[in-house]
Structure 1
Amino acid sequence: MVLNPGLELPVRTAVPALGRALDERGVAVLAAPPGTGKTTLVPLALAGLLDAFPGPVRRVLVAEPRRLAVRAAARRMAWLLGSELGGTVGYSIRGDRRTGPGTVVEVVTTGVLLQRLQRDQELPGVDVVILDECHERHLDADTALAFLLDVRAALRPELRLVCASATSDTEAWAALLGGPDEGPAPVIEAHGTSHAVDVIWAPPARLARPAQGTRTDPALLEHVAATVRRALSEHPGDVLCFLPGVGEIARVAARLDVDAEVLQLHGQAPQAVQDAALTPGNGRRVILATSVAESSLTVPGVRIVVDSGLAREPRTDHARGLAGLVTVRSSLAAGRQRAGRAGREAPGVVYRCWSEAEDALAVRFPTPEIALADLTAFALQAACWGDPDARGLALPDPPPGGAMAAARQTLAALGAVDADGRATERGRRIARAGLHPRLGRALLDGAALVGSRRAAELVALLSEEPPRALGDDLLAVLRAVRAGRDGYAARWREEVRRLRAGDTPQTALPDTAAAGLVVALAHPERIARARTAEGPYLMASGTAAEATPGSALAGAPWLAVAVADRPAGSPSARIRRAVALDEETARLAGASLLTEREEVRWAVPPGGRRGEVAARRVETLGAIELASATLTSPDRALVREALLDGLAREGADALLTWSQAAVALRERLAFLHRALGAPWPDVGEAALAQPDWLEPELSRARRRADLERIGVASALQRLLPWTTGEAGRLDELAPERITVPSGSRVRVDYSGERPVLAVKLQELFGWQAAPALAGGRVPLTVHLLSPAGRPAAVTGDLATFWREGYRAVRADLRGRYPRHPWPEDPGAAQPTRHLNPRK
């Protein structure tokens, strides 16, 4: 055991209390601000490697959310002990492991920890597990915690477990660790000695446009670069600038012409750059970093922080099968973490590239990844653990039901789970690859089809996105990376070695077909076919997609899309990386999506107006139509559904032949429905789109012409209220014709809001009142016609008309129609349909 002078860290005061809590309860929450030493001193102390904290030597496993943090923490601890990395302290990440038989403290990613738990739930030989940076709410960390709690409850109650957080919101973690019976776990707080950090609000001169997807306003990036230059001129020390992603880091770096070393720190950065950023420099430095530098890394020499105020979060469009990252405003908690970086070693300053007023609108904490991400990998982890629905897992937040349903559907399509959601042997093999299940399936099935080496090469490209500068044609990317000597190519080769299982010989497929096949095996729903010679494309998922302007893929009739996103507000997905495909390979890779079905639908031909039943036998790959043939004897039930669709879309008025009798009956029924309501039926357009009144004629119909031949008047009779007996009163309540005093039977017009009787004036002499309809509820409106049949007057009260209106009509018309009777007292005159006899 040793005590290096570098161990004088603030967290040391909390170590004794943490040790006692673990002795008594076996679980504890450690809340320690960044820079206090929780990531480096605490594991060494719990392992019994420090003279200052005597105790038995225990094997400690430290889980970090990022590979960069794993390497940095292991190196720092080895340096503090004065030992070689890979000796007492080692690390393991995917594709890179430096440990030995004497390793006591091992730092791993949470993904590696999950793999170990799935292989052997007891974690043999491990005495203490520390889950670091729990506050960041990464899905792997939440899952690992739930699994470890299961292990303690069922297999190893002596396993010690610590949740370490850089924030003080520890209640949820304490409750989870403590369980429902024993009460919350002990919370041990370590108080840092952070120096004062002054805040300078530095918003851009004009409001930046909101980010769309992963696109950030170039004007904001220019402002961030200007703020970095300003900070260098106003304050001493190195600058740590937070940006949302690798692309933004590169664009800001290109805008910086400063007398300082500019380093780009992110998960894809070469190892040499990462090491340079995490060790003191000889001159001033500007470190442009993603959120990897928020809490789990110490960047020495930093006195200034420039914060863009942006972060990246995952988003998943489950309906379209598209997942990716979007740029969002960072949370208040992230802002505090970032600002604290400036006060690690001395007083510092943070420049915030937004206004103080905007700060009040930010969310308090980052959204848990489980609420946003594609849950396919999580669902497979849960299924392999024996809890397919994850209902028995002690998670800080439950998985959303819709996302879990989509994940289970994907796993079932991959053959990774059975009908009950339990992991199959194939699913366990996929999970052991340590990849997203889609990529695990591509590796597993692709090896037999293209050879194990090529399958591993292509899956390695898909698992860690290559630099965008290599273009969007994945085949060209593969060739460039094979010949490359940069940091990405080196990491890619390591991953290929890790993924290559066995020695399945390479098949005769050329690289083009092999690349398309492996990509399509991973994402069969993204197989895409061009709609025209130059695109756009339709993916098997049903999503429209377009290649970027100037793409090398333009003109390819088929594509296997590896990476796609959907910009905010865009109706189409954007193809970011793909490989050309042929139909034969598309059919092979997308076999699970191949269907042959009868398609009977109501269709309107291009440029036409009249729809018709179209019946075809269609072969499809998802939403992509491969072939079709006309059906001569389609299923009757499908035909009926198509006709109903036609009725709904075009309406009964357009599809049926309305005779005069049918129109008249419909108008009478509509009048009674308005006047009396039930049981008189609604005969409006929407109501007549319902099929019952057209049976059995509808069931016998096969095409539009059959609908046009239906006797509509007879069909309407079925709507009358026969069961109540009211149907027999139709002629009483809404008579088709009314006998007027002259003896004529005059048709009633029901087409308007009120019924109208239009009759020549002379035929109504002596009639003091027209009958009221609908059982006396609705008065009849009378249109009094001239001898030529033109309206001379309109009235609903004949008696009043004879007294007050008739004289004016008589004076106007008697000179023009002298052969017609115009008595002075129409109330006492004889009604007539005839002319006066000639004298």
Structure 2
Amino acid sequence: MRTDALAQLPVRTAVPALLRALDEHGTAVLCAPPGTGKTTLVPLALAGLLDGAGPVRRVLVAEPRRIAARAAARRMAWLLGETAPEAGGPGRIGFTVRGERRAGPRTVVEVVTTGVLLQRLQRDPELTGVDTVILDECHERHLDADTAAAFLLDVRATLRPELRLIAASATTDAAGWSRLLGSGDGDAPVVEAEGASHPVAVVWAPPPRPVRPPHGMRVDPALLGHVAAVVRRALAERAGDVLCFLPGVGEIARVAGLLGGCGAEVLQVHGRAPAAVQDAVLAGRTRAGGAAGEGPAGDAGGGRRVVLATSVAESSLTVPGVRVVVDSGLAREPRTDHARGLSSLTTVRASQAAARQRAGRAGREAPGTVYRCWSEAEDARAPRWPAPEIAVADLTAFALQAACWGDPDASGLALLDPPPGGAMAAAREVLTAIGAVDERGRATERGGRLARLGVHPRLARALVDGAEEVGGRRAAEIVALLSEEPPREYGDDLAAAWRTARRGQDGYAARWRQEARRLERALASGGRAPGTPATTPAPDNRPEPATAPHTGTRTGTGTAGTHPDRPVSDRHTPGTPAPAPDKRPEPTTAPHTGTGTHRDDVAAGVVAALAFPERVARARGEGSFLMASGTAAETAEGSPLRGAPWLAVAVADRPATAASARVRLAAVTDADTARRAAAALCSGGAEVGWVDGDVVAREVTRLGAIELASRPLAAAEPGRLRAALLAGLRREGLELLRWSADGLRLRQRLAFLHRVLGDPWPEVSDAALVERAGEWLEPELSAARRRADLERIDTVAALGRLLPWATGEAARLEELAPERIEVPSGSRVRLDYGGDQPVLAVKLQEMFGLADTPRVAGVPVLVHLLSPAGRPAAVTADLASFWRGGYRSVRAELRGRYPKHPWPEDPSTAQPTRRTNPRR
């Protein structure tokens, strides 16, 4: 046992308090800064492996990432003086990740991924033989970890109150977890450990010039150039290895290219890195194989290293030799567009909690320095915690887990954040469509089988149903491609990528073969070990799958999954030396004939369409497609998919400003396959609607939003025709009616009365009339069949139906808003109600002798006094005042021009006339 190393771990001083908290409450929250031994010493102490005095207890440690699970197990074995789990037979320390298990009967402390823990809970809710479960790095708020915590609390409340549960992290919402883990005795105790004695200095290193903020998956190249420059600066100013955090594999590759000739070995650690590279970095060895000190905590030897890493290196492990951290300040989080059925990762500012975790990597072994590529002012504006995955991710797998647990709507689960209603509804729609849940949301027998396969429910459906069409092996190989998206260089043609993976000798191809074999075995056994009944827990020697899915959205950087902190390798076995090419014969169950290449193309289309039926897409132009979901999609220039009549789109994303989604991975397929795979989206029948300016009645067959066939409908239902005409009025407005002059004038009069008197006089604005069109346009509307019929409606008669007949006010229309009024000359002159005030346009001589301005509905009219030629001579709303003053100037101007017309000096007493002066 490495007693010296154990004695140097500061968390040892908190162990007694942690044990007391567990004895008294059964649950606890452990807060311990990075480097204190929280992940490695605490499980050994709880298992009774350090002092040997107490009974040995079995401890299960759940890590959010595969790389962390392997590293933690290796570190604990080293502390006990035992062989690493993967180097020898299973000892007292073991680990289980998807596709790989290093544990046996002697194993006391087992490190698992949270996905493995979820599968184990579903098979054996009591966790038989387990005394304590530690949920490590709970601050990251991954969906699997939150779900596992809820299930474990349910188990403690109903089945095993003696099961002890710890939520552990260096930076977490301790109060929130304390409340969550609390019971009738109150909140769970919070145990805090003293930090390591190694200080970390902070150097603020913002870019010298403003850079564009991240947008979707795009990161400004200027920022990446600045990060590379800061790495070079750190190498010049500080001793030790440098650990640089970047958001994704694409950014890592770009910065690696910029660091050529920096004088240090540049290593890349991410989900797609081969296991040998990951292990070498964590064990303090270079890729050349040189040892870097004794055990995993040894000091790096030889030349300096620059380790470029995603968030896989953020917590739960030590990178030996690192004294400097360079933090880009960026992270990746999932986003889901439930309306379009698309998911993606987006680049965001890293939270303050993540920044503290990253900085802590520099002080694990000695005093260190963190260079932060942003300003101190920006730091204060960063979010405190990362967004909980349950709030932003696709919840289909979570909903199936909850349904299999017996709580379909998750209302009874103890969760820090409840699942959003819209995301849960979208998830239930998917699960119902694939037969995983019934109409009440409860898991069906098929749903239980899909859940046990260890992939996203969509892919599980494609595996089960696809095997019946293309054979189990082919289905398993294609689903393995979809569960861990192929590298970008494999291309966007799924069938071609499949052939490349078969030939490939890279790390991805090795992982793909291993996952394909696992899926084929799981398919054959119904998701259980052979011979294991559904009610019996699977034997511990069976590799257990994680449940975290790949949701079919390309990240754009080579990583995949629903959360940026869980790259591909944390859900799939890291690469190992590629096995020999698979020589097994093609399955005889595939129904398709023709060449192997043709069968590959057909099989890829079938399986992809089964996995994502709403993404089957039909061509509508060169490189342009319409998916069944209604979303437009485009293929890249030069893509072999551009000329295909149909695609089964497996991976697509839609940038925030783009009108169409971008196809990242798809298979060529045909209409028959699309119909079979998306049978739930098929519909047919009469469609009557307003299309391109008129009523169109057709018999249509559709696949979601894709129109497959149509023919004219001879006799449409009157009610649907009426609805289509109303839709046309709403879309194009009242211009569809042919308004007569009388109709327009009546509408203006009604508008005046509504404005002046209000109810019961109706509002006749465009919006109001469209809203009440079904009322005032009847019965003409019900008899109409097309646009031309609307043009024949008598608008005067139609508007008359809106008059307040019930109250009797309709009879006063002529009294309150007369169409014409009689002037002193005896003429009946039409009023214009088109403006804010009624206008009376009349020749000046016809108004002689009238002192009071006419009124309608109590409102004085605006009198436009016209010259004998009918041109405006004066405008007044006060005739008496005009006769006294304004008339003189008008008379002086016009009497010479129109001498035949009377121009008396006193118009207030003059005789009104429509005629000229008699000849003399």
Kindly report which structure 2 residues correspond to 1:196-275, keeping only aligned pairs within 5 A, or say none.
196-257=199-260, 258-275=262-279
SS at match of 2:649: strand
Tell me whether 1:615 sits opposite 2:697 in the alignment: yes
Between the aligned partners of 1:767 and 1:278, the Cα distance in structure 2 is 104
Match status 1:747 vs 2:830: yes
C-alpha distance in 2, partners of 1:20/1:741? Answer: 107
Q: Which residue of 2 aligns with 1:771?
A: 854
Q: Secondary structure at the match of 2:698?
A: strand
- Taking the aligned partners of 1:178 and 1:829, their CA distance within structure 2 comes to 99
Counterpart residue number, 2:615: 526
How many Å apart are 1:373 and its aligned residue?
1.2
CA distance in 2, matches of 1:214, 1:799: 76
Q: Deviations over 1:157-195 (max 9, x none)?
A: 22222222223642222222222x111223322223241
Structure 1 residue 672: Cα displacement: 2.1
2:35 corresponding residue in structure 1? 35
Alignment of 1:817-832 (within 5 A): 817-822=898-903, 826-832=907-913
CA contact (8 A) 1:194 1:340 kept: no
| Equivalence map 1:373-522=2 (5 Å) | 373-500=393-520, 501-502=523-524, 505-509=588-592, 510-522=599-611
TM-score under structure 1 length normalisation: 0.94
Superposition pairs of residues 65-76 of structure 1, within 5 angstroms: 65-76=64-75
Quote the Cα distance in structure 1 between the aligned partners of 2:72 and 2:719.
67
Task: Find the counterpart in structure 2 of residue 134 from structure 1.
Answer: 138
Contact 1:452/1:505 (CA < 8 Å) preserved in 2? Answer: no
1:293-322 Cα offsets, whole Å, 9 max, x none, are 111111111111111111111111111111
Does the CA-based 8 Å contact 2:325-2:369 persist in structure 1? yes
Which residue in the other structure is 2:744 paired with? 663
Structure 2 counterpart of 1:56, which letter? P
Change (3 A) 1:99 1:802: closer
Work out the CA distance in 2 between the residues paired with 1:426 and 1:765: 95
> For the structure 1 residues 766 and 576, does the alpha-carbon distance in structure 2 shift closer, same or farther, using more than 3 Å as the test?
same
1:147 is matched with which residue?
Answer: 151
Q: Is the 8 A contact 2:150 2:414 kept in 1?
A: yes
**Equivalent position amino acid for 2:57 in 1:** R
2-side partners of 1:15 and 1:837: how far apart?
123
Classify 1:455/1:812 alpha carbon distance in 2 versus 1 (closer, same or farther; 3 Å). Answer: same
Q: Aligned residue for 2:797?
A: 714
Partners in 2 of 1:446 and 1:589 — Cα distance?
A: 9
Give the letter for the 2:69 counterpart.
V
Equivalent position SS for 1:758 = strand
Deviation at 1:152, TM superposition (A): 1.2
Question: What is the DSSP-based 3-state SS (H/G/I as helix, E as strand, rest coil) of the residue aligned with 2:79?
Answer: helix
Gaps of 5+ in 1: 605-610
Match of 2:196 in 1: 193
Aligned to 2:817: 734
- Choose 675-684 or 787-796, whichever is displaced more: 787-796
Do structure 1's residue 566 and structure 2's residue 570 form an aligned pair?
Answer: no
1:537 paired residue number:
625
Is the 1:203–1:352 Cα contact (8 Å) retained in structure 2?
A: yes
Hey, what does 2:321 align to over in structure 1?
301
Q: CA deviation at 1:508?
A: 3.1
The CA deviation string for residues 758-788 of structure 1, in whole angstroms up to 9 with x for no partner, is: 33444444444453221xx222343444444
C-alpha distance in 2 between matches for 1:657 and 1:578: 51
Q: Which residue of 2 aligns with 1:607?
A: none
Which residue matches 1:348? 368
Aligned counterpart, 1:46:
46
Asked if 1:677 is matched to 2:758, the reply is yes
Could you tell me which amino acid in structure 2 is paired with residue 329 of structure 1?
Answer: R
Aligned residue type for 1:745: R
Deviations 1:320-378 (A, max 9, x none): 11112111111112111111111111111111112222222211221211112111111
Stretch of structure 1 that moved more, 299-308 or 24-33: 24-33
Q: Structure 1 pair 668/87, CA: closer, same or farther in 2 (3 Å)?
A: same
Unaligned ranges ≥5, structure 2: 285-291, 293-300, 526-586, 593-598
Aligned to 1:83: 82
Of the candidates 633, 637, 654, which is equivalent to residue 719 of structure 2? 637
Comparing 513-522 with 212-221, greater Cα deviation is found at: 212-221
Would the alpha carbon gap of residues 796 and 154 (structure 1) be closer, same or farther in structure 2, given more than 3 Å must change?
closer
Q: 1:758 to 1:254 in 2, by over 3 A?
A: closer
- Report if the CA contact (8 A) 2:114-2:145 is conserved: yes
State the 1:557 CA deviation.
2.4
Distance 1:428 1:769, change over 3 A: same
Equivalent residue letter for 1:668: R
- Asked if structure 1 preserves the Cα contact closer than 8 Å seen for 2:172 and 2:353, the reply is no
CA contact (8 A) 2:31 2:191 kept: yes
Distance 1:705 1:345, change over 3 A: same
Q: Output the CA distance in 1 between the equivalents of 2:364 and 2:460.
A: 42
Instruction: Please give the alpha-carbon distance, in whole angstroms, between the structure 2 residues aligned to 1:225 and 1:365.
Output: 27
Q: 1:576 Cα deviation (Å)?
A: 1.7
| Matched-pair contact (CA < 8 Å) for 1:454–1:506 | no
| Counterpart Cα distance in 2 of 1:805 and 1:310 | 77
Once the two structures are superposed, residues 571-609 of structure 1 have per-residue CA deviations (whole angstroms, 9 ceiling, x without a partner) of 2222222222222211121111111143322233xxxxx
Moved more, 550-559 or 116-125: 550-559
Counterpart Cα distance in 1 of 2:885 and 2:503: 107
Deviation, 1:658, is 2.3
Is residue 310 of structure 1 aligned with residue 310 of structure 2? Answer: no
Q: Whose RCO is larger (CA < 8 A, sep 6+)?
A: 2
Partner of 1:118: 122
CA apart distance, 1:472: 1.7
Residues 484-528 of structure 1: per-residue CA shift (max 9 Å, x gap): 222221211111111112298431331111101111111112222
Paired residue secondary structure (1:340) = helix
> Given that residues 63 and 130 in structure 1 are in contact (C-alpha distance below 8 angstroms), is that contact kept between their aligned partners in structure 2?
yes
- Residue 647 of structure 1 pairs with residue 729 of structure 2: yes
Residue-by-residue CA offset, 1:632-686 (whole Å, 9 max, x unaligned)? 222222222221122223322x222222322332222222223322222222222
The 2-side partners of 1:314 and 1:513 are apart by: 31
Q: Is the 8 A contact 2:25 2:185 kept in 1?
A: no
Q: How has the CA–CA distance of structure 1 residues 249 and 194 changed in structure 2, closer, same or farther, with 3 Å as cutoff?
A: farther
Q: What one-letter code is carried by the residue in structure 1 that aligns with 2:745?
A: A
Deviations 1:273-303 (A, max 9, x none): 0111011234221111111111111111111
Matched to 1:290, the amino acid is T
| CA-CA distance at 1:427 after TM superposition | 1.0
**Structure-1 separation of matches of 2:746 and 2:197:** 88
1:82 maps to amino acid: G
1:250-278 per-residue CA deviation (whole Å, 9 max, x = no partner) reads: 22112222332222112221111011101
Structure-2 residue corresponding to 1:608: none
C-alpha displacement at 1:393, in angstroms? Answer: 0.8
Task: Decide which moves more: 227-236 or 796-805.
Answer: 796-805
Q: For residue 810 of structure 1, report the CA deviation from its aligned partner.
A: 5.0
Give 1:805 shift: 5.0
Q: Point out the more displaced range, 758-767 or 568-577.
A: 758-767
Q: Is the 8 A contact 2:895 2:901 kept in 1?
A: yes
The residue correspondences of 1:82-101 to structure 2 (distance < 5 A) are 82-84=81-83, 85=85, 86-101=90-105
Question: Given residue 680 of structure 1, which amino acid in structure 2 is its aligned partner?
Answer: W
Q: 2:311 aligns with which of 281, 291, 294?
A: 291
State the partner residue of 2:674: 586
User: Number of aligned pairs?
Assistant: 826
Instruction: Report if aligned partners of 1:528, 1:561 keep a CA contact under 8 Å in 2.
Output: yes
**Secondary structure at 2:860's aligned position in 1?**
coil
Note closer, same or farther for the CA distance 1:837–1:426 as it changes in structure 2 (3 Å cut): same
Distance in 1 between residues matched to 2:103 and 2:353, nearest whole Å: 35
C-alpha separation in 2, matches of 1:716 and 1:169: 65
Tell me the TM-score normalised to structure 2 length. 0.86
